Structure 1
Amino acid sequence: MRLPSRRTALALGAAAFGGLALPARAQAKKNITIAIQFGTSHLATTVADKLALFARHAKDNGIGDTSFTVQRVSGSPAINDGIFSGTLDVGAYGPTALLAAWLKTRGSFDIRGIAACNEAVLTLYSNDASVKSVADIKPEMRIAVTATTAPQAILLRMAAEKAFGPGQASRFDKQMVVLPHPDATVALISKAAIQLYFAAPPFISTLEASGKCFKVVDGNAIIGRSYSGALLGATSKFAGANPAAVATIVAGLREAMDLIKSDPAQAAKLYMEVEKTALSPAEVEAAIRAQTFTVEPQGMMAFAGFMQRNGELKEAPAKWQDVFFEPVSKGQGS
């Protein structure tokens, strides 16, 4: 199956966000729906939901009669559709998707971030031991990413530019294959159609345990710093009408992150109660211990600068705070 080019994907993205009607005036909601995706990147939201932390902080913030429901969906299109239609109030975004949504919806839905969920641990793996760096990737090799505009794809472009010089960011674009994390994991281990895959936890643990896959490079080495993996975002209509709910979500995530740090075994148990995995409890716990969970956004400006320079973002924010609502915008992000 032929995949759309990066230029086509960007044009489609612009069309999806462009021409949106201005949202109607909002009122405070009593039932708030949060949509997340699969994987331990969203562990803090899972823990907060399972332990009723959102409900506890809602009471503290004077909105004890407000309920919070967490749904799991596959892919950002479903989240965007829900946010625009009003069936979802808060949705999970990667850093690159949030930047795109922020720019495309200014003056209409005005999507911005509520909080980060974690610092990413994205790592490029190969089932070919001869691939020691991105410079060893051959033209015939196929590279699995979750989307051609996802953080993994942007990191791959960063790595290409770093290895081959200016103007080479798109070097691997035609070699990208879009696959969900579970499918990419199976395909890489079985050597079915792909030779590389930009993986995320807990799928990294599965690749490592197979003994058939080899680390090429991780995202921190490419970008040169820590960076957010998942973030929660919403419209200004929602945030403006529900400031106590926004504060409740941030407080619930903070408490959940404290628990994850102090008791990763319990966090692993809670995760395995809601998501199917072939990993053992010990392996899930190890994947959790390898991550940092924080509400402070990281690396947003690094992504924005690269994306603007390479035509994937027409305009970068002047500062990371422009892309987030309070209280997180008053914090220590980057």
Structure 2
Amino acid sequence: MITKRHLLTATAALGTAGALGFNIRPAHAEVNRLRVSHGYGILYLPLIVMRDQKMMEKQAEKAGLGGMAMEWQTLDGGNVINDAMLAGSLDIAGTGSPGFITLWAKARGIPRAEVIGVSGMSTCALVLNANRPHLKTLADFTPNDKIALPGIKTSLAAVVLQMLVAKQFGAENYAKLDPMTVGLPHPEAAQALLSGKTEIAAHFASPPFSIIELNNPSIHKVIAASDVLGDSTLDVIFAPKRFVDANPRTMQVFLAALDEANEFISKDPMAAAQAFNRVTRTTATDEDVVKMIKDPDTRFSATPHGVLEYSRFMHSVGTVRNRADSWKDLFMPALHDRQGS
């Protein structure tokens, strides 16, 4: 028999747990709201299609999770995304593989701070474009030739640039061009490069910005990421590990929605291009975006490829202290039955 004393004891226990900061909710309850971020470029197309077509909401309803409220943010640069994740204002984020690895390595072993990869996402023609004729190779850059990146040191473009420099000048000189880098979101960097009136002499850009820039006769390509990395996954999706552990059904539904988005892109590139332009409002035409989607260097997949190489490189140069031994160390168990690397 449940007495008044029992009820008072239970109420007191709940009050104590709340005071200690524990989240009190029914056992097995999962979130009914997701806060997700993506960036500006074509690398984020799967998330942009999910957003435009409301695929997460539909998959959640189909799976019996009920109504799923989605809150979308547009964030660019690993540092900005990592700060938002650490501040608790994001549940899931798309970001460059190096930015994710930086946060994964920094927080590993700290239960309330740990993050985990949810999936791979994309690769594309990441290109270093320049507006000064003398910049034909990496060796031509001087302290006066500033390179725009979404974020210095840890953004996708920043780490890929270091990897390209290490290959050309030796691993010990991987940071040779770091002093020339300037943190700017892709839209602002493209405007600066195209104007030719600022200190920005180059921009490590992803489509559509790289394409828009190269359509200008005063802009030329210096080097592409694929020259060194092949078709490795440039952007991934990640989340706080405690969030993933607490919401297993939600994460399975998210993967289903992501796979649906990738299938949508493959089957109807024009519809995907239109979704991209509706959400991002770039100056690229639908036809331009279709060309980017069909580019041989562009690939969209939830299965990560080559992400372990970023971890090994960043550990070898001292950017991160913790190194993954397997790609599975980096990603949630729901992805482990796939052929990743």
- Length-normalised TM-score, structure 1: 0.87
Give the fraction of aligned pairs with identical amino acids, expressed as a percent: 27
Give 1:130's match in structure 2, choosing from 131, 134, 138: 134
Give the AA of the match of 1:35.
S
The 1:75–1:221 alpha-carbon spacing in structure 2 relative to 1, beyond 3 Å, is closer
Give 1:52's match in structure 2, choosing from 51, 54, 65: 54
Give 1:146's match in structure 2, choosing from 147, 150, 153: 150
Moved more, 136-145 or 307-316: 136-145
- Partners of 1:218 and 1:168 lie apart in 2 by 19
Q: Deviations over 1:263-317 (max 9, x none)?
A: 1111111111111212222112222222211111122111111111111011210
2:218 is aligned with 1:216: no
- Partners of 2:220 and 2:328 lie apart in 1 by 37
Shift of 1:234: 0.9
Structure 1 equivalent of residue 9 of structure 2: none
2:192 is aligned with 1:187: yes
User: What is the SS of the residue equivalent to 2:258?
Assistant: helix
The 1:97–1:78 alpha-carbon spacing in structure 2 relative to 1, beyond 3 Å, is closer
Report if the CA contact (8 A) 1:120-1:227 is conserved: no
Give the AA of the match of 1:194.
I
Moved more, 140-149 or 61-70: 61-70
Structure 2 equivalent of residue 4 of structure 1: none
User: What is the SS of the residue equivalent to 1:118?
Assistant: strand
Report if the CA contact (8 A) 2:106-2:321 is conserved: no
Report if the CA contact (8 A) 1:119-1:292 is conserved: yes
Q: Deviations over 1:222-242 (max 9, x none)?
A: 23x222222221112211111
- Partners of 1:244 and 1:70 lie apart in 2 by 20
The 1:77–1:145 alpha-carbon spacing in structure 2 relative to 1, beyond 3 Å, is closer
Report if the CA contact (8 A) 2:34-2:71 is conserved: yes
RMSD: 2.1
2:122 is aligned with 1:118: yes
Structure 1 equivalent of residue 299 of structure 2: 292
Q: How does 1:212-251 map to 2 (within 5 A)?
A: 212-223=218-229, 225-251=230-256
Long gaps (5+) in structure 1: 1-21
Report if the CA contact (8 A) 2:79-2:99 is conserved: no
Report if the CA contact (8 A) 1:25-1:237 is conserved: no
User: What is the SS of the residue equivalent to 2:67?
Assistant: coil
- Length-normalised TM-score, structure 2: 0.85
Give the AA of the match of 1:292.
R
User: What is the SS of the residue equivalent to 1:68?
Assistant: strand
Structure 1 equivalent of residue 92 of structure 2: 90
Shift of 1:99: 0.7
Give 2:330's match in structure 1, choosing from 314, 320, 323: 323
Report if the CA contact (8 A) 2:77-2:95 is conserved: no
Long gaps (5+) in structure 2: 1-19
Shift of 1:47: 1.1
User: What is the SS of the residue equivalent to 2:122?
Assistant: coil
Give the AA of the match of 2:67.
D
Report if the CA contact (8 A) 1:121-1:229 is conserved: no
The 1:154–1:74 alpha-carbon spacing in structure 2 relative to 1, beyond 3 Å, is closer
Structure 2 equivalent of residue 313 of structure 1: 320
Shift of 1:85: 4.2
Shift of 1:326: 2.7
- Partners of 1:81 and 1:303 lie apart in 2 by 20
Structure 1 equivalent of residue 13 of structure 2: none
Give 1:36's match in structure 2, choosing from 38, 48, 51: 38
Give 1:333's match in structure 2, choosing from 328, 336, 340: 340
Give the AA of the match of 1:94.
G
Structure 1 equivalent of residue 6 of structure 2: none
- Partners of 2:86 and 2:45 lie apart in 1 by 25
The 1:44–1:279 alpha-carbon spacing in structure 2 relative to 1, beyond 3 Å, is same
Give 2:160's match in structure 1, choosing from 155, 160, 170: 155
Q: Deviations over 1:66-99 (max 9, x none)?
A: 3333332344455444433443211222111111
- Partners of 2:89 and 2:174 lie apart in 1 by 37
User: What is the SS of the residue equivalent to 2:299?
Assistant: coil
Structure 2 equivalent of residue 166 of structure 1: 171
Shift of 1:159: 1.6
- Partners of 1:216 and 1:284 lie apart in 2 by 22
The 1:23–1:164 alpha-carbon spacing in structure 2 relative to 1, beyond 3 Å, is farther
Q: Deviations over 1:25-71 (max 9, x none)?
A: 68521112212222222111121222222122223433133333333
The 1:172–1:23 alpha-carbon spacing in structure 2 relative to 1, beyond 3 Å, is farther
Structure 2 equivalent of residue 102 of structure 1: 104
Give the AA of the match of 1:320.
W
Structure 1 equivalent of residue 204 of structure 2: 198
Shift of 1:129: 3.1
